[in-house]
Amino acid sequence: MECNINHAGKWDKEDVYYCINHHKKASINGKKLDECICNKKDYEKCLTINKEDIFSIKFVYPNLLTNLESILEVNGQKINILYIGRSMLEKRDFGGLLLSKLNNINLEVEVCPYCNNIHSDDGKFAYKPHNPHLCAYCGKLFHVNHPNIGNEIATIFNINDLKLDNRCLEIKSELKIEYDILKNSLLVNNICCNKIRINNEEYYLKDYLNEKLYNEF
């Protein structure tokens, strides 16, 4: 897919150009680039599907002790981008959904007034209510009535609250997080728990992931 670059207004007083096909910035220091900063290869592994045809969505961090890589698996197929209707869902949006649900955030539906797409919050924005929002579809900042948090995935699927068992899991060489979106289940190394212990230090899973995924937006 070719880039489609438009002027997106100003972020921090600097002109920004934005690619609406790849949802990435396409300028440096206010100067427009010929292509956006995305890795084109990422967009080869995508899936366009009707909501009704989806029977499984899993979002996995294979080992957060060593890296922040993630896997998105829809109907057993590993992909990077999921297209449903006019929605373009990226891995970071599923990470955002996970953080929002862990933090018991009431997700609100915020529609960008410039492009009419639904806003998703990722990384720290998935648990810190904020205003304005930066639209991933068109790259423009938009204001809402009060600071809040949204996620487009929650407008497509029925996302219930996560229920974690009250137990602490000892973590040694692997920290695998597996979020089954349609089953509302979250497992750590295949175990349901709300706390983990790493090097004799105990953390609430929520606090650990909030910090670990802070910049994943």
Tell me which residues touch Zn ion (CB under 5 A).
Answer: 3, 19, 22, 36, 112, 114-115, 121, 125, 133, 135, 137-138
Which CB sits closer to Zn ion, 70 or 151?
A: 151
Radius of gyration over every alpha carbon of the chain, rounded to an integer in angstroms: 18
Closest contact distance (angstroms) between CB of 138 and Zn ion is 3
Task: Specify the residue, 61 or 142, whose C-beta has the smaller distance to Zn ion.
Answer: 142
Which residue, 133 or 206, has its beta carbon nearer to Zn ion? 133
Smallest gap from residue 85 Cβ to Zn ion (A): 16
Distance of CA 212 to the CA centre of its chain: 14
Which C-beta is closer to Zn ion: that of 115 or that of 198? 115
Identify residue 118 by its one-letter amino acid code.
I
Residue closer to Zn ion (CB basis): 10 or 172: 10
* 84 Cβ neighbours under 8 A, 6+ residues apart: 48, 49, 50, 51, 54, 156
Query: Least separation, in Å, of the C-beta of 204 and Zn ion?
Result: 24
Give which of 119, 135, 125, 150 is closest to 210, Cα–Cα: 125
Nearest to 122 by CA among 144, 155, 100, 104: 100
Evaluate whether 59 touches 94 at the Cβ level (below 8 Å).
yes
Nearer to Zn ion, 48 or 75 (CB): 48
**Which residue type is seen at 170?**
E
For the CB of residue 101, give the shortest distance to Zn ion in the complex, in Å: 16
- Shortest CB 107 distance to Zn ion, Å: 11
β-sheet with 14-19: strand ranges across: 5-11, 14-19, 24-25
Give which of 143, 198, 144 is closest to 169, Cα–Cα: 198
Least separation, in Å, of the C-beta of 184 and Zn ion? 23
